[in-house]
Amino acid sequence: MYVSGGRVYRLGQDGETVEVLAEQVAAAQPYSWKLAHDVRPARWSTGASGGCYECHSLGSPFFDSQVTAVGPAPDVEPPSERMAELAGLDRLRIDTWNLSFQGRAAFKWFGFASAGIVGLVLLSFVFLGINGLGGFARRS
């Protein structure tokens, strides 16, 4: 018996051929390590040179790459999965999040402009208040 890539194999009766006993066995599923941000220097990290869109765009290799479980077993078609499926992520949620990055720069500029307008309005009320205090002091 041999376990590789989620499949269980054994030698055939002739001792030469390999038979696949089971295509999907839960105990034989490949183990995956979750990707973390602190596994390499920041200058090498994904997104450091290409920006946010390196991962957060539709069809980016970060989520859509095929991972093939290649082992020493003689597989004609080894099992493969997309990165998002392997990580157990919801495809709709990933696509929605990635689409939101398309308007990210515009959203930032809108936020900065809104904060600037609110700041100017507050500043005008501060000046009106200071002017009102000064006028009150002269009337007394």
Per-residue confidence (pLDDT) for residue 64, from 0 to 100: 84
The pTM of the full predicted model, rounded to 2 decimals, is 0.47
Domain count, the chain: 1
Residue 22 has pLDDT above 80, yes or no: no
Residues 6 or more apart whose CB falls under 8 angstroms from that of 86 comprise: 32, 67
Residue 113 lies in a domain: yes
Nearest to 72 by CA among 126, 15, 18, 134: 18
Residue 117 lies in a domain: yes
Q: Which domain holds residue 130?
A: 105-140
Residue 71 lies in a domain: no
User: CA–CA distance from 12 to each of 5, 16, 31, 84 (Å)?
Assistant: 19, 6, 27, 36
Residue 126 lies in a domain: yes
| For the chain, percent of residues with pLDDT exceeding 70 | 75
User: CA–CA distance from 98 to each of 35, 59, 138 (Å)?
Assistant: 18, 9, 60
Residue 139 lies in a domain: yes
